[in-house]
Structure 1
Amino acid sequence: MSSREIVEETLDNTVIDPAVTWTTGNVAEAFPGVFTTLGFTFVNAAVETATRTTFKNLGVLTAKQVCVPDQPEDMFWTLFAGRAAANIDKFREIANITPGTSATAVEQQLFGYVRPETVDANSARRYPVIAVKAPGAVLRLPGRHDAEFAELRRWRLAHLDGIDALDHAGCVALLADARARFQRMLTKHMLVAFVSSGLADRVTDMLADLDLAHLGPALLSGVGSDESEVANDLWALAHEQITLREFTDRHGYHGTNEGQLHGVTWREDPTPVLDRLADYRAVPADSPRAPRARSREQIETRQRALAEVRAALPWGRRGTAAWTVRMAGRWIALREQGKAGYLLTFDIARAVTRRQGALLVSAGVIDRVDDIFHLSYDEVCGGVTDDRRAVVAERRAQYDERCAYRLPQSWAGVPALVKTGESELPALEVAGVITGVAASGGVVEGRARVVRDPATTELDDGDILVCETTDPSWVSLFLVAAGVVTDYGGMLSHGPIVARELGIPCVCGTEDGSYRIRDGQFIRLDGDQGTVTVLG
């Protein structure tokens, strides 16, 4: 059994090269929480293959390098104690042979900061191949991305209502289809993430040269993300402009723990949505806080910032600057669309899995429908017929135990687990300050609400949302929140993008803000300076 197969069996790496560096940055945003056996074996090879195919399409990797290595140290990602981590060293290798980026830029995107020991070692050896392949791959992608996303929406709705009538063979076929579509969408999404990061870096460098760095968040706002449409439709649902079925047809693939196959979506349980409607109902159509009004305001904010940049440039450079900002906005919007795209495949996959789980319960193989998530993808597709209750009980107990721990943001070798909800760092006292990335401008003061589960948290108007990270299921909290503070991420992480689209201040990449700020403390969030101060 290879090391990779051991990881798929145990969902852990207990022995690994101590020189290799890992991070939960960004990957924890895509796949938050603890994996089950089925969840990991469904995505593991697909994620690795999609990542490598992306870089092959750009000319950075060769066709022979599109494979799934046997050793976790050679992969772009793996699991530790059931939680996802990205291989920083592999992404640094890619950055060092790709024009327009560097190891420093990669770490800035992954962490929101650059480690002091980071050294760029750029090489031009792949530049000729990249020069031939990359332009075509990049230029064709936006149209293909839009088409793939539209097809996934159609495909999801075409299959959902018929899943409860599928037999085992039908479940296997549709699950395989969902997996293939997940890999195709993720391949496009990875390229979008790579290009959008490069464009955002170009905007940042341009502003730094002009001594206008403070305009960065404004120029990257008003891009029209998929989550803006979720907020708009939540408001429309609250005001009875659309039905609940219309809402779940459009956005029902979101929900608590949506980045895990065993998560429960709004389509399955709309309670988290219904519980928020009173907040949205309290916002009238003509209010500047209405989602459509917020979107318009952010577009205007972006245009004002661009006008300021153009005024600071010689006439001959203004067109290039406007094009760069426009392209950055287009690709950042695609970045959020890509996340929504692979979540569409997850929604079909989880519905099929629960149907297959019901069949296994009827056959006496497992006790409960969701027990199927503790079997492997190959077991499920192979058609298990023997009793798996003991295996499921063992794996479920291990899953429950791992939910009580979290990983650090970065480490080398095997990580030291940290108890969830605990930190070795002391709580911030009055006048205490934490710093992060100034991701969305503005200054607000309010009560800190430290949130671990968006489905079980009530925010009052004006509260400041403080959390480790966010995913699209958190968008229902953003309209109420006065600001957002996250432990993980950089300018192009989910939370900052949505905060900018809704025009609320955000500081991200604080590393441990949600563990040093206490729930209920009165704080000042400065999205212009990237600081959070405890006031009382």
Structure 2
Amino acid sequence: MPWTTGNVAEAFPGVSTALGFTFIHQPMELAFRKMFRGLGVFGREQLTVPEHIEDQFWTAFAGRAAANIEQFRKVAGLMPGTSATAVEKQLFGYVREGTVDDNSMRRYPIIAVKAPRAVFTVSKRHDRLFAQLRQWRLDTLPSVPDQDLAANIATLRDARERFEQIMILHLLVTFVTSGVADRITAMVGAAGLTGLEARLLSGVGSDENEVAQDLWLLAHDKIDLPSFLDRHGYHGPEEGQLHSVSWREDPAPVLAWLKDYRAIPDGDPRAPRARNEEQARIRQEAADQLKKAVSPLNRPLVGPMVNLAARFVALREQGKAGYLLAFDVAKAAARRAGAHLVERGLLDDAADVFHLTYDELLSDDGIDRRVLVKQRRAQYEERLRFRLPQAWSGVPELIQVTGDATVSAPVGTTITGVAASGGVVEGRARIVRDPATARFDEGDVLVCETTDPSWVSLFLVAGAVVTDFGGMLSHGPIVARELGLPCVCGTEDGSSRLQDGQLIRVDGTRGIVEVLAGAS
């Protein structure tokens, strides 16, 4: 059975703890199935979590998230308007050699009835649920410190249910976005304008635009820190892991970047709002260019298709923010529950709660699990030494994390990936593992495994972006296009081949990174 870390590692980066994985595994699996049920692809009998992992959409190997490529391909083969190959390319950033599409029309009559309503209403439903989650987080967080253990557990259960709700809509948005992007790519290719799709998918106005803009406002004393944290405090390093620390809990990473934002005055083209407006203009220019190149019959379709893509790409990022809202409340409830268990003498430290499973925490059975937690913590720390390959079949061969390259890649070395955001930039490679500790000079190239919304503070000072994982619709490329940065994603090993400080050229139009000089 083929598996991949593509894209799913972006949503849930790093190694999960026992609580982190068991909190999300069942809701995620059911969200996939309920989403496909809503489209008419699945029947009622498929709304359960399969016993065997090869029948599940996703799981974890050595604590790291992985997606079941074959399950996604099977579903794509049942859906009109897309293909297994297209979904694999858009979601995971590449298509395995020798793969063959095997589309079936047997569910088309049911899909024809159910899918249009699901798709046409998802935008408003998504906006409504996201607004509810924002308000629920603000209303719930202040009460968590005063809750007893039973109330903390009830809050955790509530957060898990809300996580599943937003994931159902988020996954639907993800699949619709993939289909629309595939149509645009095909239209661009037929018009002989290959590469234009990156410009057509920029300037969409994603959630990260608001984070960047509010960081700029905070740096210029136009809003205060509590207001910023109320709006965006659920972000933070490795935010896709339940045990991570959000900006709400520790705003130090935010404060560390304010100096760079203060250096960008109002009206400067580098300011977030100005960049967003420029990318929206570029998107419109690209749409006009495509209209002139397509046949008269297809010309009226270009505008609506480009606008639909922009709307759904923005919704895709909103969905990620939505499940992080649920995570932030879950983190607070779990940490407070851990403190209660410390008071009872059942744990040594409140953070040890993340090494319990969800069911163990909910059981409130009074069992002293300090020895078990010690074993799981040791296992977690051991797993940090390894990562998964990008794709494999069966049981993965773990790859030891050897740290950053200590020798410069030879001049002339070429690293290829996905041409995700156009433009050419030369700059010093900055290999970043933790955005909270990164140090950038203006114009340096951000090189990393993957990004999540907490990395947006780095994008504003970076000259270009290079990532190991992801495709056109991954987080890093979307934000890069919003800010007009060249981006090459899906290099697989760029962050381990390049040495920090090397001079490189990033060609986001061709999907190529070239080494120009050694580290300095």
Supply the distance in 2 between the matched residues of 1:42 and 1:155 (Cα, whole angstroms): 19
Backbone CA RMSD of aligned residues = 1.3
The Cα offsets for residues 14-34 of structure 1, whole Å up to 9 and x where unpaired, read as: xxxxxx000001110110011
2:139 counterpart of 1:158: yes
Alignment-derived partner of residue 358 in structure 2: 377
Alignment-derived partner of residue 417 in structure 2: 436
Alignment-derived partner of residue 29 in structure 2: 48
2:96 counterpart of 1:115: yes
Alignment-derived partner of residue 128 in structure 1: 109
Equivalent residues in 2 for 1:9-20, closer than 5 Å: 20=1
**For 1:71, which of 35, 49, 52 is the aligned residue?**
52
Alignment-derived partner of residue 336 in structure 1: 317
2:61 counterpart of 1:80: yes
**For 2:199, which of 197, 210, 218 is the aligned residue?**
218
Alignment-derived partner of residue 221 in structure 2: 240
Equivalent residues in 2 for 1:350-429, closer than 5 Å: 350-421=331-402, 428-429=409-410
The Cα offsets for residues 319-367 of structure 1, whole Å up to 9 and x where unpaired, read as: 2111111101100100000000000000000000001011111111101
SS of 1:465's equivalent in the other structure is strand
2:492 counterpart of 1:520: no
The Cα offsets for residues 390-449 of structure 1, whole Å up to 9 and x where unpaired, read as: 01100000000001110000000111111124599x963101101111111110000001
- For the Cα contact (< 8 Å) 1:111–1:490, is it kept in 2? yes
SS of 2:499's equivalent in the other structure is coil
Supply the distance in 2 between the matched residues of 1:262 and 1:170 (Cα, whole angstroms): 20
- For the Cα contact (< 8 Å) 2:91–2:473, is it kept in 1? no
Alignment-derived partner of residue 248 in structure 2: 267
- For the Cα contact (< 8 Å) 2:404–2:499, is it kept in 1? no
- For the Cα contact (< 8 Å) 2:32–2:57, is it kept in 1? yes
Supply the distance in 2 between the matched residues of 1:503 and 1:423 (Cα, whole angstroms): 28
Alignment-derived partner of residue 10 in structure 1: none
Q: Which moved more, 1:304-313 or 1:65-74?
A: 304-313
- Measured after TM superposition, the shift of residue 316 of structure 1 is 4.0
The Cα offsets for residues 117-154 of structure 1, whole Å up to 9 and x where unpaired, read as: 11111111111111111000000100000000000000
Supply the distance in 1 between the matched residues of 2:351 and 2:248 (Cα, whole angstroms): 16
- Measured after TM superposition, the shift of residue 198 of structure 1 is 0.3
Amino acid of the structure 2 residue aligned with 1:415 = P
2:276 counterpart of 1:295: yes
SS of 1:191's equivalent in the other structure is helix
Supply the distance in 2 between the matched residues of 1:445 and 1:298 (Cα, whole angstroms): 21
Amino acid of the structure 1 residue aligned with 2:204 = V
Amino acid of the structure 1 residue aligned with 2:113 = V
Supply the distance in 2 between the matched residues of 1:381 and 1:123 (Cα, whole angstroms): 43
2:506 counterpart of 1:532: no
- Measured after TM superposition, the shift of residue 287 of structure 1 is 0.6
2:232 counterpart of 1:251: yes
**For 1:473, which of 444, 450, 454 is the aligned residue?**
454
Supply the distance in 2 between the matched residues of 1:109 and 1:423 (Cα, whole angstroms): 29
Alignment-derived partner of residue 3 in structure 1: none
**For 2:442, which of 447, 461, 471 is the aligned residue?**
461
Supply the distance in 1 between the matched residues of 2:153 and 2:351 (Cα, whole angstroms): 17
Normalised TM-score (structure 1): 0.95
Supply the distance in 2 between the matched residues of 1:319 and 1:472 (Cα, whole angstroms): 35
Normalised TM-score (structure 2): 0.98
The Cα offsets for residues 368-401 of structure 1, whole Å up to 9 and x where unpaired, read as: 1100000111111111423211011000000000
2:325 counterpart of 1:347: no
Alignment-derived partner of residue 4 in structure 2: 23
**For 1:139, which of 120, 123, 141 is the aligned residue?**
120
- For the Cα contact (< 8 Å) 1:31–1:84, is it kept in 2? yes
**For 1:501, which of 457, 482, 488 is the aligned residue?**
482
| Distance change (3 Å), C-alpha of 1:428 and 1:106 | farther
Supply the distance in 1 between the matched residues of 2:203 and 2:300 (Cα, whole angstroms): 20
Alignment-derived partner of residue 4 in structure 1: none
Supply the distance in 2 between the matched residues of 1:265 and 1:422 (Cα, whole angstroms): 25
The Cα offsets for residues 23-66 of structure 1, whole Å up to 9 and x where unpaired, read as: 00111011001111111111111000000111111111111111
- Measured after TM superposition, the shift of residue 113 of structure 1 is 2.1
Supply the distance in 1 between the matched residues of 2:262 and 2:325 (Cα, whole angstroms): 28
Alignment-derived partner of residue 278 in structure 1: 259
Supply the distance in 1 between the matched residues of 2:92 and 2:469 (Cα, whole angstroms): 7
Equivalent residues in 2 for 1:55-66, closer than 5 Å: 55-66=36-47
- For the Cα contact (< 8 Å) 1:224–1:333, is it kept in 2? yes
- Measured after TM superposition, the shift of residue 254 of structure 1 is 0.2
Amino acid of the structure 1 residue aligned with 2:350 = V
Supply the distance in 1 between the matched residues of 2:469 and 2:415 (Cα, whole angstroms): 13
- For the Cα contact (< 8 Å) 1:365–1:384, is it kept in 2? no
- For the Cα contact (< 8 Å) 1:427–1:515, is it kept in 2? no
Supply the distance in 1 between the matched residues of 2:194 and 2:98 (Cα, whole angstroms): 25
Supply the distance in 1 between the matched residues of 2:38 and 2:421 (Cα, whole angstroms): 33
Unaligned runs of 5+ in 2: none
- For the Cα contact (< 8 Å) 1:437–1:510, is it kept in 2? yes
Supply the distance in 1 between the matched residues of 2:287 and 2:333 (Cα, whole angstroms): 47
| Distance change (3 Å), C-alpha of 1:421 and 1:228 | farther
**For 1:178, which of 159, 168, 184 is the aligned residue?**
159
Alignment-derived partner of residue 14 in structure 1: none
SS of 2:16's equivalent in the other structure is coil
Aligned pairs, how many? 517
Amino acid of the structure 2 residue aligned with 1:217 = A
- Measured after TM superposition, the shift of residue 483 of structure 1 is 0.3
Supply the distance in 2 between the matched residues of 1:431 and 1:507 (Cα, whole angstroms): 17
